[in-house]
């Protein structure tokens, strides 16, 4: 069995003898262990990062960009290893692991490497020279649903900015970070610039957030945990960026291409087993066409084969853990109890899958906008179809949750764009718009603050100095 270590000062580092089991959610098998880190381990990592900071910050941005580009190349070369690892540790189907779990980090790192040349590191404003400088030591705390993607989305801009990093990966899906550490070292990143401390949120995450030697915390995870990170970080008035929960709405207008809108909406709800913060779990449809939407959604969901994530035919694997399976199943039971109309799936495991953290893809119709399953983040393969009457009510329902991360509108172009502008959310896809790695990503309201990707993401990791004269 694989026993991982921390990575501090450019090499493996041991800590406490206590270990955390990493479990394959498809089988319940313990496949690895990582250290149960402590605040003392965080102290060592922060010290290494602070020692490495002056030298790394002094490297020319063009050279830092070349190094980030080599990180992208190194990750690309290990696609199959990364994909297989993520499939085993958190249950993503192997085809998705190749294209998204392993593929997206490469695109993100490459995009930052290419961004550097045109970025305004300095600019003149009247008689002032405005200089963008690295912020210092960045504490990165990342989740399990896209375990490498979320790390690289923080690491790439931090490295390009000239910052050093202390990472706490999720203890549920931590096994790609040793691969990343090797890739980073091989790319020419100096020792101490990138450090990894494994462990739990209450121990390691809290220590990073509160640490006086950490200048910025970038956190992705639940809104509840984000509040705790913010509170801990406030004691040292460090910068905090948060990418938190979502309950995004897919608004389908009455003049939309219904088969396209519903089918794409189902895909954006069920991909990765619904364990996507930017998923569209609320499908808003004209009340007069709800039955049509239900028929299309059920037909589309039937193609999503649930099973062994290592099987090439599988589209939905298990939830990332048994604990999360129970949580999602509880929401399905709550939807039934509250009177939503169950049209597909339901509680319990799919037929033939008596073990493993599997959930049945589930669709509810006639869901009240204020129902628990329409307001709280389920983070599983559960679609809620909500009928509306008129564009104004659709916008009101879409904006009615505490979240505002992503969303979608399908309809005639001008009308759909007008609705998109009214949605209180950080990103909206109109008629199937695709992910743009250079466009900003982040939330309104309790979906967080700050932005990732492109120029906007890089700027989060920089301080701004004004020199007069």
Edge-first strand order for the sheet with 30-35 is: 2-3, 30-35, 19-23
We find that the CATH architecture of domain 249-437 is 3-Layer(aba) Sandwich (3.40)
Q: What is the pLDDT of residues 250-262, one digit of tens each?
A: 999 999 999 999 9
Paired with 242 in beta bridges are 219, 449
**Cβ partners under 8 Å of residue 99, min gap 6:** none
Find out whether 186 and 74 touch, Cβ atoms under 8 Å.
Answer: yes
Positions of CATH 3.40.605.10 in the chain: 2-244+446-468
- Whole-angstrom distance, CA of residue 248 vs CA of residue 407: 5
Find out whether 250 and 284 touch, Cβ atoms under 8 Å.
Answer: yes
Positions of CATH 3.40.309.10 in the chain: 249-437
Structure-block tokens of residue 254 = 């009455």
**Which residues of the chain carry a pLDDT beneath 50?**
none
Query: CATH classification of 2-244+446-468 is 3.40.50.10490, yes or no?
Result: no
DSSP 452: B
Q: Strands 249-252, 362-365: parallel, antiparallel or unpaired by DSSP?
A: unpaired
- Give which of 246, 108, 272 is closest to 180, Cα–Cα: 108
Q: What is the pLDDT of residues 141-194, one digit of tens each?
A: 999 999 999 999 999 999 999 999 999 999 999 999 999 999 999 999 999 999
Q: Strands 407-410, 249-252: parallel, antiparallel or unpaired by DSSP?
A: parallel
φ, ψ of residue 309 in degrees (nearest 5): -65, -15
Structure-block tokens of residue 65 = 């960009």
The model's pTM is 0.97
In the block, which residue shows the tokens 């969303």?
Answer: 407
pLDDT of residue 15: 85
DSSP 214: -
- Whole-angstrom distance, CA of residue 337 vs CA of residue 335: 5
- Whole-angstrom distance, CA of residue 116 vs CA of residue 454: 10
pLDDT of residue 169: 98
pLDDT of residue 1: 67
Cα-based distances in Å from 49 to 56, 210, 242: 10, 16, 22
> Could you please report the per-residue DSSP string of 420-449?
HHHS-SS--EESSPPP-TTS-B--SGGGEE
φ, ψ of residue 51 in degrees (nearest 5): -65, -35
- Whole-angstrom distance, CA of residue 86 vs CA of residue 22: 11
φ, ψ of residue 295 in degrees (nearest 5): -60, -45
Q: What is the dihedral of CA 360, 363, 367, 371, to 10 degrees?
A: 30
- Whole-angstrom distance, CA of residue 252 vs CA of residue 269: 15
Would you please indicate which residues are annotated as catalytic (active-site) residues? 243
């Amino acid at each position: 069995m694989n026993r991982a270590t921390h990575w501090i000062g450019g090499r493996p580092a041991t800590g406490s003898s206590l270990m955390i089991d990493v479990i394959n959610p498809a089988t319940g098998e313990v496949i690895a262990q990582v250290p149960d880190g402590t605040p003392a381990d965080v102290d060592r990592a922060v010290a290494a990062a602070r020692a490495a900071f002056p030298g790394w910050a002094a490297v020319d941005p063009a050279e830092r960009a070349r190094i980030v580009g080599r990180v992208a190349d190194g990750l690309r070369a290990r696609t199959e290893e990364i994909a297989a690892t993520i499939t085993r540790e958190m249950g993503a189907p192997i085809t998705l692991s190749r294209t998204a779990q392993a593929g997206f980090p490469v695109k993100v790192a490459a995009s930052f490497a290419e961004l550097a040349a045109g970025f305004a590191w300095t600019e003149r404003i009247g008689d002032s020279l405005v200089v963008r400088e690295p912020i210092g030591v960045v504490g990165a705390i990342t989740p399990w649903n896209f375990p490498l993607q979320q790390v690289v989305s923080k690491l790439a801009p931090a490295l390009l900015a000239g910052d050093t990093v202390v990472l706490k990966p999720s203890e549920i899906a931590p096994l790609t970070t040793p691969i990343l550490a090797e890739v980073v070292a091989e790319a020419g990143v100096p020792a101490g610039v990138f450090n990894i401390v494994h462990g739990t949120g209450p121990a390691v995450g809290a220590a990073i957030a509160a640490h006086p030697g950490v200048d910025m915390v970038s956190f992705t995870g639940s809104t509840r945990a984000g509040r705790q990170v913010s509170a801990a970080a406030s004691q040292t008035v460090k910068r905090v960026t948060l990418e938190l929960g979502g309950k995004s709405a897919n608004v389908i207008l009455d003049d939309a291409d219904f088969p396209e809108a519903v089918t794409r909406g189902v895909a954006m709800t069920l991909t990765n087993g619904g364990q996507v913060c930017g998923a569209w779990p609320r499908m808003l449809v004209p009340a007069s066409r709800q039955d049509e939407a239900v028929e299309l959604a059920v037909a589309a969901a039937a193609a999503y084969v649930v099973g062994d994530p290592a099987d090439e035919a599988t589209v939905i694997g298990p939830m990332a853990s048994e604990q999360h399976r129970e949580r999602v199943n509880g929401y399905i039971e709550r939807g039934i109890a509250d009177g939503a109309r169950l049209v597909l799936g339901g509680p319990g495991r799919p037929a033939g899958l008596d073990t493993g953290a599997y959930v049945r893809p589930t669709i509810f119709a006639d869901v009240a906008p204020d129902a628990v399953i329409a307001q709280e983040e389920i983070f599983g393969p559960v679609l809620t179809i909500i009928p509306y009457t008129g564009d104004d009510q659709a916008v009101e329902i879409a904006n009615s949750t505490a979240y505002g991360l992503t969303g979608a509108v399908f309809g005639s172009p001008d009308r759909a764009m007008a609705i998109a502008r009214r949605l209180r959310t950080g990103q909206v896809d109109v008629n199937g718009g695709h992910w743009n790695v250079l466009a900003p990503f982040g939330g309104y309201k309790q979906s967080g603050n700050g932005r990732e990707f492109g120029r906007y993401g890089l700027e989060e990791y920089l301080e701004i100095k004004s020199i007069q004269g």
